[in-house]
Amino acid sequence: MVASLTKRFGDLDIAEESAAEAFAIAIERWPADGVPPNPGAWLTTTANRKAIDRIRREYKRDDKQKEAQMLYDDDPPEPLGAIDDERLRLIFTCCHPALAMETRMALTLRMVGGLTVPEIAHAFLVQETTMGQRITRAKAKIKAARIPYRVPSAEDLPARVTGVLAVLFLVFNEGYLATGPDTDPVRHDLTAEAIRLTRLIRILLPHDGEVAGLLALMLLTEARHTARVSASGELVPLAEQDRGAWDPALIAEGHRLVRERLASGVAPGRYQILAAINAVHTSAPDVRDTDWSQVVALYDQLVRVDPSPIVAMNRAIAVAELDGPEVALAAIDRLDGPLAGYHAYHATRADLLRRLGRSRQSRAAYDRAIELAGNTAETAYLTRRRDQLA
Amino acid sequence: MQYLVSVIDDKTNSATPGELDATDAFNEGLVAEGHWIFAGGLSAPATATVIDSRGGEAVLTDGPFLESKEYLGGFWILEAPDLDVALKLAAAGSKACNRRVEVRPFL
């Protein structure tokens, strides 16, 4: 409804406030008057009238009044399918590249996901007032700079979809490995919202391989979330997880998407390859059944698409299973420059050194990883591993 | 809708002949497509004079109001229907003059 109002009135604030007003009137009237035969249409009509009232109040001038009246009268009621189109427009506006990445994430959760400002503030560990200001500033910029409310043109679409997916992936990751000393290790609200929004994009852009890939990746990751944190609140690495606790429905759906992309014959992008890697892991009933050569082959493919040091690090982790920890450590040590400040780099190194019996160096690497880790369950796991060293 | 596209520079009048040619070609395109309002390059910040008449009398101060390593070297004022169009034009402008630019909407 906010999306449809935004389209009609070109103003996020008016859209949000009118929608809220319509709901408030419904809560007041429906218990006494009864629920109208088409509640959705009732709310939309009420919100439209409230928006026009608002515009009239804001602009007393005649021309603005006429403009608002024209907007209202000339716009026939839209078919149901149009709501999704409008939501898509809203997502592209919220994820506009002229907005800072953290602003895009916050705005998407607020405007598309419908989360409250306190909820978003909590998710990003900032003060409510700070988050409120960030969202207000973003809305002001959208209005003042006239960030268009539309789906980008075909030539711009691939780059803009990539931008939207990056926002959703960051929201998901923030939920899956939440940072902060007093935060739950897995923020299920964020992972669920990221999945819901990616599903929506998938409905709207069913032929986009990377959209399907990201959805599959999220589902196959989410499927493992109950096995990922132990009863004592420690992070459980993939190799040690109780695979019986994985969610078979999510895994089946993720595998279906991966198969669909493989059948398409189109060269996969980053998310599709990551999803395929996760499909290999979730296909193994026991960690010993993992097809590591397939995992390494997929990482080789990923390195070609995304030659970042983090991908090289994750490839080395798979190489350790195939060619042994010594080969993997040599590859990891080459990444010391770019990844020196990344906790997972030191945790990976610590594990490889431990497996090679180099306890003293392993301990030092665990110390560094613990120092840098922001997730409570991960810190607990790393600490135990370190303290188990001879 | 009008946008100010500021050219950010740390030297004055430093454009190479190639950059000037590319900028001229870009400007011709702006005129042809109806985006052109105005554009120009500016002399060095040291040539500026700040005037303050708030107290009644005009008080003149030699130099720019803000000393900074980088400054406004020139600008375009463009007409564009929305930010996406303005950003595309600015991207082409940045390439033509080979400088960073900033896009800012008029009120």
Tell me the per-residue pLDDT of A31-43, one tens digit each, with 9 for 90 and over.
Answer: 777 777 777 777 7
Under an 8 Å CB criterion, which residues of A touch B? 96, 98, 144-148, 152, 156
C-beta of residue A190 within 8 angstroms of C-beta of residue A171: yes
Q: With bands split at pLDDT 50, 70 and 90, how would you rate the model's confidence at A72?
A: very low
Q: pLDDT per residue over A237-272, tens digit each? A: 898 999 999 999 999 999 999 999 999 989 999 999
Q: How far apart are CA A357 and CA A350, in angstroms?
A: 11
Give the structural domain span for A28.
7-78
What mean pLDDT is reported for chain A?
85
Is A159 part of any domain? no
Where is pLDDT greater, at A116 or A351?
A351
Q: CB A145 to CB B83 under 8 A?
A: yes
Which stretches within A145-187 are classed as H helix?
Answer: 157-176
To the nearest whole Å, the CA of B9 is away from the closest chain A CA by 21
What mean pLDDT is predicted for residues B14-40?
Answer: 96
Q: What does the pLDDT read at residue A69?
A: 42
Q: Which of A358, A366, A281, A356 is nearest to A324 (CA)?
A: A356
CA dist A362 to A329, A330, A359, A374, A383, Å? Answer: 12, 15, 5, 20, 12
Q: What does the pLDDT read at residue A54?
A: 66
* Chain B residues within 8 A of A156 when measuring between CB atoms: 84
Q: Does B84 touch chain A (CB under 8 A)?
A: yes
Which of A195-209, A228-242, A341-355 has the highest average model confidence (pLDDT)? A341-355
Q: CB A147 to CB B105 under 8 A?
A: no
Q: How far apart are CA A9 and CA A217, in angstroms?
A: 37
Which of B1, B83, B104 is the best residue to mutate to test the A interface, defined by the most A CB atoms within 10 Å of its own CB?
Answer: B83
CATH number of the domain residue A334 falls in: 1.25.40
Q: CB B82 to CB A148 under 8 A?
A: yes
Beta-carbon contacts of residue A240 (< 8 Å; ≥ 6 apart) = A287
Question: Which residue among A20, A44, A78 closes a domain?
Answer: A78
Question: Which residue among A55, A78, A101 closes a domain?
Answer: A78
The region of weakest confidence among A45-59, A68-82, A106-120, A180-194 is A68-82
- Tally the C-alpha atoms within 13 A of residue A298's C-alpha that lie toward its C-beta: 24
Is A97 part of any domain? no
Token pair belonging to B71? 């400054």
Q: CB B82 to CB A146 under 8 A?
A: yes
Q: How many domains does chain A have?
A: 2
Question: Mutual orientation of helices A325-333 and A309-323 as an angle, nearest 10°?
Answer: 160
Q: What domains lie within chain B, and their CATH numbers?
A: 2-43+69-105 (3.30.70.1060)
DSSP string covering A82-141, please? HHHHHHHHHHHHHT-TTS-HHHHHHHIIIIIS---HHHHHHHTT--HHHHHHHHHHHHHH
Model pTM above 0.80: no
* Chain A residues within 8 A of B86 when measuring between CB atoms: 145
Beta-carbon contacts of residue A132 (< 8 Å; ≥ 6 apart) = A117, A121
> Would the pLDDT of A178 be above 70?
no
* Chain A residues within 8 A of B105 when measuring between CB atoms: 144-146
Kindly indicate whether the ipTM for this predicted assembly is greater than 0.90, answering yes or no. Answer: no
To the nearest whole Å, the CA of A376 is away from the closest chain B CA by 41
> Would the pLDDT of A48 be above 70?
yes
> Would the pLDDT of A383 be above 50?
yes
Q: CB B84 to CB A144 under 8 A?
A: no
Is A74 part of any domain? yes
The CA dihedral of A318, A322, A323, A325, to the nearest 10 degrees, is 50
Question: Which residue among A78, A113, A133 closes a domain?
Answer: A78
Provide the pairing of β-strand B49-52 with B100-105. Answer: unpaired
Is A297 part of any domain? no
Q: How far apart are CA A42 and CA A39, in angstroms?
A: 5
